[in-house]
Amino acid sequence: YIVNLKPNDLADAEKKKGVKLLFDGKTNKGWRSIHGDKFPERGWEVKDGQMTVLKSDGGESTNGGDIVTKDKYAVFDLSFEFKLSPGANSGVKYFVTLKEKSKGSAIGLEYQVLDDALHPDAKLGRDGNRTLASLYDLITSNRDDRARRPIGEWNRGRVVVTADNKVEHYLNGIKMLSYERGSKAFKDLVQISKYKDWENFGEAKEGFILLQDHGDRVSFRSIKINTPN
């Protein structure tokens, strides 16, 4: 894994490994609304090398709505930088199929993006499993304070999915959690979560990558993915 500190840029070493930019830093190319083939006309902006979901009412998917990649992914190493405004809530979801026809945000495994100190969701769920970098409502992230940067600064998130269904979340280079999709332990967690009514939740063979509109201002950049050739 290569850390490139230049935003929205691929170093030669990254290019050799096959890393691709999912956001070019200038346009919304490669992204669309979960409700159609086009990018939302409102609620999101691409400016200053950032893709930003704009503040609305703090509700779930009530303004521009969630956006997803145009391609689906199965085995991947996804990295992204995000910057929270005070009290903000968003998320990066993966293995999103858009088949559930859910109201509000689309269903998928979620890398939680949250201001733990100021947003009430941090205290909900079980044992902190709705805090920053957690697998939302399922697995609590590592409590290591070294991984967390102050609100308003850029954080680097990473999700690694291997061919044997093992998944890892990282925050600023520190491993936050790991699990195995479809395992008994995973299924048991789903059964006591908000996802219990979705059949085979989180077990799709492939899915879209999603950036969540939760009505709060959150910026993303340097969204990169590496997949096996």
Listed in sequence order, the DSSP H helices in the chain are: 12-17, 184-191
Q: Are 20 and 35 in contact (CB under 8 A)?
A: no
Q: Are 226 and 18 in contact (CB under 8 A)?
A: yes
> pLDDT 10s digit of each residue in the chain, 229 long?
778 889 999 999 999 999 999 999 999 999 999 999 999 999 999 999 999 999 987 666 668 899 999 999 999 999 999 999 999 999 999 999 999 877 778 999 999 999 999 999 999 999 999 999 999 999 999 999 899 999 999 999 999 999 999 999 999 999 999 999 999 999 999 999 999 999 999 999 999 999 999 999 999 999 999 998 6
DSSP 8-state code for residue 121: G
Superfamily of domain 23-226: Exo-inulinase; domain 1 (2.60.120.560)
The residue ranges of every structural domain in the chain are 23-226
How many angstroms from the chain centroid is the CA of residue 186? 19
